[in-house]
Amino acid sequence: MTDYRRLRVALLGAGSVGSQVASLLRQHGDELADRAGATLELVGIAVRDVDAPRDVDLPRELLTTDAETLIVGADIVIELMGGIEPAREYLLQAINSGADVVTANKALLATHGPEIFDAADQVGAQVYYEAAAAGAIPIIRPLRDSLAGDRVQRIMGIVNGTTNYILDRMDKEGAEFGDVLADAQALGYAEADPTADIEGYDAAQKAAILASLAFHTAVPLDAVHREGITRIDASMMDAARKAGYVIKLLAVCERMVADGDETISVRVYPALVSREHPLASVHGANNAVFVEAEAAGPLMFYGAGAGGVQTASAVLGDVVSAARRHIAGGVGVGESTRANLPIVPIGHVTTRYQITLEVNDQPGVLATIAGILSDGNVSIATVEQTVIGDDIEGAGTARLVIGTHKAREQDLSDTVDTLAQSGVVEKVASVLRVEGD
Amino acid sequence: MTDYRRLRVALLGAGSVGSQVASLLRQHGDELADRAGATLELVGIAVRDVDAPRDVDLPRELLTTDAETLIVGADIVIELMGGIEPAREYLLQAINSGADVVTANKALLATHGPEIFDAADQVGAQVYYEAAAAGAIPIIRPLRDSLAGDRVQRIMGIVNGTTNYILDRMDKEGAEFGDVLADAQALGYAEADPTADIEGYDAAQKAAILASLAFHTAVPLDAVHREGITRIDASMMDAARKAGYVIKLLAVCERMVADGDETISVRVYPALVSREHPLASVHGANNAVFVEAEAAGPLMFYGAGAGGVQTASAVLGDVVSAARRHIAGGVGVGESTRANLPIVPIGHVTTRYQITLEVNDQPGVLATIAGILSDGNVSIATVEQTVIGDDIEGAGTARLVIGTHKAREQDLSDTVDTLAQSGVVEKVASVLRVEGD
């Protein structure tokens, strides 16, 4: 075996990802050394409780509760603790003591990314975070490096496995949200407290990270418009299916011109996606990121978005990259946020919509509704009217499904309010955005 | 505008990709400078004939026929001339004069890759070639960096747009190969001399590049088993469709254990792919690379595999990466070929097969054939027998479609020879490998 330089690797956290990273580092040590050009010596694993039960056997002598001492003298620090503090503090300590850092902490990067990247810039260190955006799917390097000479126009990502699992089963089985969620929790696809997933918080963090990279702009988490999937019910799924769509929770990052200026929009919400679109074929807990770039055209990256060993793959790729950079020398290349595009609020965004109304089935109703839409600057593309239930005498209730051309979100939202108060609409059954065509 | 350091960029070649690279470099110069942290100054474009007509207007004063002088003093040299010589000579000159190099030249890398990578290693330069493997699809960085901590088990790539276009149309229209090829030539999807595409030479070059990266092993082009698609006819397509398959030209790079040793196999051939497999949905001239890694699981990368402006996107991503490295300092990280796994010949490969035979429809024929297969170590998984034409009297010809379990290629090939000479087989209509399940 070649006699390589030894690099000291400190691991913070031994949960489902961390324990796999530790295990793979030890199992494939020789192979990784050949690839990195350096021996990766795991010098310690910081945990909260050295006696806690773990999925993977880790050598007791590597475990410590003293993260700060472990970080001192490490060449590469892998942060897999999650949460904001003390992860932020430890990462900054690692950077300032000359280590390169690898993290899968999307919450931290989405909230304190600029602080961490600035700290790394100042000392010439590098921050690697391939695992933070879509688990095992390589998307950070493609956006940051491969597409660095192109202009990304739009990203549409299925970046949360739990919600895709739930929506996919609702689509296939015609089941209700609550039932599938309960089942997903029993099967381990959803957590006991599923809020971060089903309310879109997790997807919003990833959207902020992807948009920052794609548009070379610091995107703070609170600039991401976020809606969850809890309002999606079986009837909306059914209607979508009949219209040739599937409902997916999308992270959309889009370059757009607003009032003559180049801007971006970053938003997470459930949207109608044509069954012909590649994203419609992403089933189960899988993730996919669809990228449209000016020169490259459409690209898609598909794979497992979560899972301990899958995410560990992305972490270890970063560790090898960090080791290669240590051997090669030079400073980290830093993050490019120099474009610094303004981020528009959701009200300025234009998309297509599908509005489902229950209306009094009387003469003149359609004309009234069409008038309200027109007054609100919402242009109708398609209308489909069906009588609800057995009442075909004309005096009952009809369902109107209106597809719009691209409309401004604020106009659409105001118009839906006007419709709701118009007296002719009994109920606004659903309003969904249409993405991807 | 920030006052950046200027980097001198020399472009060799102004064909469909080169002219787009020149055009985008000039059009988006400020934006690229912000991302690279350096101004990318296009100092000249080497061409064979400065007066040749071009798709894109290029400033006359940048054009030169003197590549060697242009290379002197360049910080980054982009080689888009294609062919082996003088591209090889110029790249080596650029590396030895201290430049980083960007190339899309798959023929050169597949035949002289090690020489070029070694030269770069010796001076600490870096070779970038994201555009060489699947056009605009970012696949080089994911394999080289993101998956560097994982073990790639298998790559199945649709890496040639022309053949995918032809096979896709044959599948959809039931048309014959020659007719679709002629049409593809008329539409510009295939070249006047289509040999490189339809005989699999182009795909084999890409397979060599992908396998080298994935398995950290120098894979010479002549170690790649290569078959083209010219023998695929409408009846084979039709039979595949009825059996739930589609025929795709695949580049397969596989890690396998042969005689107890870890080895790899690299091969290009038309194969049956289940319609349920993600690769079956890759239509038209698109490309996709399906990667199975031990920890990450299945991943897929999809996009445009060719085209001037699409490929220019990948080239410019490399140029920005090269510029960032120039600014950051340090040496290039080189290629890792330290695993150096043995490459087994095609005879040692095991796959599933589908054998279609026309046989004398007589008692005992199936028993004879089953015996020959069994003697040849080929295990039968499925058999389907149909009478050909109107002859249902039992004295005519029957078609036997035999699906095998995994068999060794050499055994299979010997067995098919035995079948052909057995007297009971009138014709071996087709032998196709089954990949992806």
Among B200, B205, B198, CA closest to B220: B205
Check CB contact under 8 Å for A216 and B34. Answer: yes
B142 touches chain A (CB under 8 A): yes
Mutate to test the interface with A, among B76, B290, B333 (most CBs of A within 10 A): B333
Any idea of the CA torsion for B28, B33, B35, B37, to the nearest 10 degrees?
170
Q: List alpha helices for B262-331, DSSP H.
A: 308-328
CATH T-level assignment (fold) for domain B140-304: Dihydrodipicolinate Reductase; domain 2 (3.30.360)
Q: How many CB atoms lie within 10 A of CB B244?
A: 11
The CA-based angle B279-B285-B290, given to 5 degrees, is: 25
pTM: predicted TM-score of the whole model, two decimal places: 0.92
What ipTM describes this predicted complex? 0.91
Check CB contact under 8 Å for A149 and B333. Answer: no
Cross-strand pairs, A340: none
Q: Which of A172, A206, A406, A427 is catalytic?
A: A206
Chain-centre distance for alpha carbon B399: 34
Contact B126, B328 (CB under 8 A): no
Half-sphere exposure of A411 (CA within 13 A, CB side): 19
Q: Which residue has the tokens 């200026």?
A: A261
Cross-strand pairs, A271: A248, A433
Contact B358, B429 (CB under 8 A): yes
d(CA B372, CA B369): 5
Residue of A nearest to B37 (CA): A336
Per-residue pLDDT at B259 exceeds 90: no
Half-sphere exposure of A106 (CA within 13 A, CB side): 26
A148 touches chain B (CB under 8 A): yes
Condensed to tens digits (0 to 9), the pLDDT of residues A132-159 reads 988 889 999 999 999 999 999 999 999 9
Q: How many CB atoms lie within 10 A of CB B292?
A: 18
Give every CB contact of residue B423 below 8 A, 6+ residues apart in sequence: none
Among A393, A376, A421, CA closest to A402: A376
Give every CB contact of residue B187 below 8 A, 6+ residues apart in sequence: none
d(CA B13, CA B6): 22
Indicate the DSSP class of residue B230.
T
Check CB contact under 8 Å for B149 and A37. Answer: no
Q: Which chain B residues have a beta carbon less than 8 Å from that of A333?
A: 37, 324-325, 327-328
Average pLDDT, chain B: 92
Give every CB contact of residue A58 below 8 A, 6+ residues apart in sequence: A14, A19, A22, A23, A45
Check CB contact under 8 Å for B297 and A303. Answer: yes
Mutate to test the interface with B, among A145, A212, A286 (most CBs of B within 10 A): A145
Residue of A nearest to B297 (CA): A310
B296 touches chain A (CB under 8 A): yes
Cis peptide before A342 (omega within 30 of 0): no
**pLDDT tier for residue B437 given thresholds of 50, 70 and 90:** confident
Condensed to tens digits (0 to 9), the pLDDT of residues B46-72 reads 999 999 888 788 899 999 999 999 999
Contact B404, B353 (CB under 8 A): yes
d(CA B107, CA B413): 30
A137 touches chain B (CB under 8 A): yes
**A–B: how many Cβ contacts below 8 A?**
213
Check CB contact under 8 Å for B299 and A138. Answer: yes
Per-residue pLDDT at B340 exceeds 90: no
Residue of B nearest to A316 (CA): B149
Q: Please give the pLDDT value at position B143.
A: 93
Among A335, A342, A415, CA closest to A376: A415
Condensed to tens digits (0 to 9), the pLDDT of residues B275-313 reads 989 999 999 999 999 999 999 999 999 998 888 999 999
Residue of B nearest to A324 (CA): B333
Q: Which of B106, B172, B206, B242 is catalytic?
A: B206
The encoded tokens of residue B96 equal 């030895």
Per-residue pLDDT at B390 exceeds 80: no
The 3-state secondary structure of chain A, one letter per residue:
CCCCEEEEEEEECCCHHHHHHHHHHHHCHHHHHHHHCEEEEEEEEECCCCCCCCCCCCCHHHEECCHHHHHCCCCEEEECCCCCCCHHHHHHHHHHCCCEEEECCHHHHHHHHHHHHHHHHHHCCCEECCHHHHCCCCCHHHHHHHCCCCCEEEEEEECCHHHHHHHHHHHHHCCCHHHHHHHHHHHCCCCCCCHHHHCCHHHHHHHHHHHHHHHCCCCCHHHCEECCCCCCCHHHHHHHHHCCEEEEEEEEEEEEEECCEEEEEEEEEEEEEECCCHHHHCCCCEEEEEEEECCCEEEEEEEECCCHHHHHHHHHHHHHHHHHHHHHCCCCCCCCCCCCCCECCHHHCEEEEEEEEEEECCCCHHHHHHHHHHHCCCCEEEEEEEECCCCCCCCCEEEEEEEECCEEHHHHHHHHHHHHCCCCEEEEEEEEEEECC
d(CA B209, CA B217): 10
Can you tell me whether residue B233 is helix, strand or coil? coil
Measured in angstroms, the CA of A265 and the nearest CA of chain B are apart by: 19
Among B35, B301, B338, whose Cβ lies nearest the Cβ of A216?
A: B35
Residue of A nearest to B303 (CA): A299
Contact A393, A432 (CB under 8 A): no
Among B370, B358, B367, B352, CA closest to B412: B352
Condensed to tens digits (0 to 9), the pLDDT of residues A187-233 reads 988 999 999 999 999 999 999 999 999 999 999 999 999 999 999 99
Residues of chain A with pLDDT under 70: 1-2, 334-336, 389-395
Q: How far is CA B75 from CA B12, B99, B191, in A?
A: 14, 5, 35
- Burial, A363: exposed, middle or buried (Cβ in 10 Å; 0-12, 13-18, 19+)? exposed
The CATH number of the structural domain formed by A349-435 is 3.30.70.260
Q: How many CB atoms lie within 10 A of CB B359?
A: 21
Half-sphere exposure of B10 (CA within 13 A, CB side): 29
**pLDDT tier for residue B396 given thresholds of 50, 70 and 90:** confident
Check CB contact under 8 Å for B295 and A310. Answer: yes
Q: Which residue has the tokens 């998307």?
A: A139
Condensed to tens digits (0 to 9), the pLDDT of residues B146-183 reads 999 999 999 999 999 999 999 999 999 999 999 999 99
Length of chain B: 437
Kindly report, as residue ranges, where domains of CATH 3.30.70.260 are found in chain B.
Answer: 349-435
Among B141, B299, B312, whose Cβ lies nearest the Cβ of A136?
A: B299
Contact A344, A217 (CB under 8 A): no
B283 touches chain A (CB under 8 A): no
Among B296, B298, B336, whose Cβ lies nearest the Cβ of A35?
A: B336
Q: Please give the pLDDT value at position A390.
A: 55
d(CA B24, CA B35): 14
d(CA B201, CA B192): 16
Kindly report, as residue ranges, where domains of CATH 3.30.360.10 are found in chain A.
Answer: 140-303
**pLDDT tier for residue B392 given thresholds of 50, 70 and 90:** low
Q: Which amino acid is at A211?
A: A
Residue of A nearest to B29 (CA): A149
Indicate the DSSP class of residue B176.
-
DSSP per residue, B201-225:
HHHHHHHHHHHHHHHTS---GGGSE
A335 touches chain B (CB under 8 A): no
Condensed to tens digits (0 to 9), the pLDDT of residues B261-270 reads 999 999 999 9
Phi, psi of B408 (to 5 degrees): -80, 135
Among B11, B68, B18, CA closest to B42: B11
CATH T-level assignment (fold) for domain B5-135+309-328: Rossmann fold (3.40.50)
B148 touches chain A (CB under 8 A): yes
The architecture that CATH gives domain A140-303 is 2-Layer Sandwich (3.30)
d(CA A149, CA A293): 10
d(CA B264, CA B155): 11
Q: Please give the pLDDT value at position A351.
A: 95
Exposure pattern of B111-121 as b/e (b: 16+ CB <10 Å)?
Answer: bbbeebbebbb
Contacts by residues B111-120 (CB-CB < 8 Å, ≥ 24 positions apart): B111/B84, B111/B220, B111/B221, B112/B84, B112/B88, B113/B208, B113/B209, B113/B212, B113/B218, B113/B335, B114/B218, B114/B337, B115/B88, B116/B88, B116/B91, B116/B92, B117/B334, B117/B335, B117/B337, B119/B92, B119/B95, B120/B95, B120/B332, B120/B334
The CATH number of the structural domain formed by A5-136+309-328 is 3.40.50.720
Mutate to test the interface with A, among B23, B146, B338 (most CBs of A within 10 A): B146
Among B257, B345, B253, B350, CA closest to B292: B253
Measured in angstroms, the CA of A69 and the nearest CA of chain B are apart by: 26
Can you tell me whether residue B57 is helix, strand or coil? coil
Q: Please give the pLDDT value at position B173.
A: 95
Cis peptide before B270 (omega within 30 of 0): no
The encoded tokens of residue B298 equal 């299945």
Measured in angstroms, the CA of A28 and the nearest CA of chain B are apart by: 9
Q: Which chain B residues have a beta carbon less than 8 Å from that of A16?
A: none
Kindly report, as residue ranges, where domains of CATH 3.30.360.10 are found in chain B.
Answer: 140-304
Contact A221, A200 (CB under 8 A): no
pLDDT (average), residues B385-389: 79
Is B206 a residue of the active site?
yes
A3 touches chain B (CB under 8 A): no
